[in-house]
Structure 1
Amino acid sequence: MIGTIQNRDAFLNKIAGQLGRSRITTPVERPRWKFRPQDEVLKGASQDELLEVLKEQCKRIHTTIYTTDLINLGSTLNGVVADFGGGPIVTWKDERFAEWGINSLMKSEWPSQNIDVFEWDSAKGTENISKAENANIGITISEVTLAESGTAVLFSDENKGRTVSFLPAASVVLIPKSSLVPRMTQAAQKMREIHGKTGRVASCINFITGPSNSADIELNLVVGVHGPVKATYIVINDL
């Protein structure tokens, strides 16, 4: 049956037996490490300092970065879309687009300019994937952003298909400045905080660092191997 665990005890008992010991059934106490170097990198850095780190890292990961405020977000986003050659565009269905004042851009201004915009709709099934596959630009939002590595963390759900970030030719990630953290350690802590507040876990969590690339063949870096060949981050001052 779907969602039912069967033969768990027998399976775990067999593993314990192969290890030559009885099965441990009591909770394992979390170790308290004397040294935690992962907490020291960029410790105490302000959001402005983290933003500067992110900007420097974007140079290394072949990613263009813009900073803006909510008043100028629409014009900044419009300029990025123009630089990428327009549509078709695929976006998540996210209420923050309306909160940030760019819904009219997506649903009125761009269509009036003959720029096709498709909003992810779970009711449309595989049509979503087809639209993403044929899109020039995918627009998503980073929930947590790692300054040290230039990594955007995207949470997927029924309204936020993961293909929006990796099937279009170009990726545009909107990054609230408040989402900036030093590195993976703090990202994990922030995701735990988000879960504590919402009580929800994303169906898929993607850590994306700039455009797709690979150096698997003779250590030669090739950008645009298995996803977007170009990426732009737009940092929004929401503090």
Structure 2
Amino acid sequence: MIQNRESFLQSVAARLGRSTPSLTKPERNWKHLPQHEVLKDASMEELIEVLREQCLNIHTTLKKCTKQQLPEILNETIVDYGGGRVIYSNDPRFGVLNVLPVFEQFEHLKWQSGNGERNIDFAEQANVGVVISNVTLAESGTIMLQASPEVGRTISFLPENSIAVIPKSSIVPRMTQAAQFLREQSHVSSCINFITGPSNSADIEMNLVVGVHGPVRMTYILVEDY
């Protein structure tokens, strides 16, 4: 129950120099939507170039390849990170991309709901975590992941090194399009992560430190549509 509404509005109206308060809901007419103008007319190749330049700013390596080249590039990246334990999400796209044999060359675990706490224990000790981006923001170099029982959020947080496979079709200009993507989904995860490169913090005296609360190194592997 609303109490003292009229007296409150009367007081506000008086402060605004009005004799009586207006109880009519104002009509909202959004004439200007600048968020839709940024990179609006950019081609896919132009967006990729924006992403490439932004990766330099966020200390992230960007590699580009075809679907056929992806297994070799992924294996090469894991080896460069020192191999060891590898954890990856239970994403059916890994099968479509034919990279499951790559994981089998290392001590590995596919994140699955049936694993229970073993998922987190393995991720904590893993050297490399591998995911596939749902939406990729060119402007900020950000990947979007929707956590689920088969895609644990700690895959990208606990391992020392992180690899994100980026389908070319997932690239959009900026957060505006990512929000639109989520609005169009019939089901949206209760945990949505926007990840921009490896962990960075400059809280102490503005000195940048990488890897304080997440991966120390990160690689994006951009793969042509399949």
Please tell me the TM-score bracket, short chain as reference: 0.7 to 0.9
Offset from partner CA, 1:96-128 (integer Å, 9 cap, x none): 111111122223xx1xxxx20111121121111
Which residue, out of 190, 206, 209, partners 1:222?
209
Offset from partner CA, 1:158-198 (integer Å, 9 cap, x none): 100000010000000011110111111111112223x1xxx
Paired letter, 1:206? N
Q: How far apart, CA to CA, are the structure 2 residues paired with 1:208 and 1:238?
A: 22
Q: How far apart, CA to CA, are the structure 2 residues paired with 1:32 and 1:219?
A: 41
Alignment RMSD: 1.8
1:101 paired residue number: 98
Q: How far apart, CA to CA, are the structure 2 residues paired with 1:224 and 1:123?
A: 30
Indicate yes or no: 2:221 matched with 1:234. yes
Indicate yes or no: 2:178 matched with 1:187. yes
Q: How far apart, CA to CA, are the structure 2 residues paired with 1:144 and 1:18?
A: 48
Paired letter, 2:88? T
Aligned-pair distance for 1:31? 3.8
Tell me if structure 1 keeps the 8 A contact 2:59–2:197: yes
Indicate yes or no: 2:152 matched with 1:161. yes
1:129 paired residue number: 120
Offset from partner CA, 1:132-173 (integer Å, 9 cap, x none): 000000001110010000000011111000000100000000
Cα distance change on mapping 1:125 and 1:186 into 2, 3 Å: same
Q: How far apart, CA to CA, are the structure 2 residues paired with 1:190 and 1:61?
A: 24
Cα distance change on mapping 1:221 and 1:105 into 2, 3 Å: same
2:163 paired residue number: 172
Q: How far apart, CA to CA, are the structure 2 residues paired with 1:128 and 1:73?
A: 25
Q: SS at the partner of 2:129?
A: strand
Q: How far apart, CA to CA, are the structure 1 residues paired with 2:96 and 2:41?
A: 30
Indicate yes or no: 2:76 matched with 1:79. yes
Q: How does 1:205-220 map to 2 (within 5 A)?
A: 205-220=192-207
Aligned-pair distance for 1:18? 7.7
Q: SS at the partner of 2:136?
A: strand
Paired letter, 2:135? V
Cα distance change on mapping 1:18 and 1:155 into 2, 3 Å: farther
Paired letter, 1:78? N
Aligned-pair distance for 1:36? 1.3
Q: SS at the partner of 1:71?
A: coil
Paired letter, 1:150? G
Q: SS at the partner of 2:47?
A: helix
The TM-score with structure 2 as length reference comes to 0.88
Paired letter, 2:97? W
Q: How far apart, CA to CA, are the structure 2 residues paired with 1:99 and 1:29?
A: 52
Query: Which structure has the highest helix share of the two?
Result: 1
Larger Rg: 2
1:8 paired residue number: none
2:136 paired residue number: 145
Q: How far apart, CA to CA, are the structure 2 residues paired with 1:186 and 1:46?
A: 15
Paired letter, 1:90? I
2:15 paired residue number: none
Paired letter, 1:185? T
1:70 paired residue number: 67
Q: How far apart, CA to CA, are the structure 2 residues paired with 1:47 and 1:41?
A: 14
Q: Which runs of 5+ in 2 are unaligned?
A: 10-24
Offset from partner CA, 1:9-64 (integer Å, 9 cap, x none): xxxx4xx548757xxxxxx9994311111111111111111000000000000000
Q: How far apart, CA to CA, are the structure 2 residues paired with 1:147 and 1:211?
A: 16
> Identity of paired residues, percent?
52
Tell me if structure 1 keeps the 8 A contact 2:66–2:224: yes
Q: How far apart, CA to CA, are the structure 2 residues paired with 1:51 and 1:39?
A: 18
Paired letter, 1:71? Q
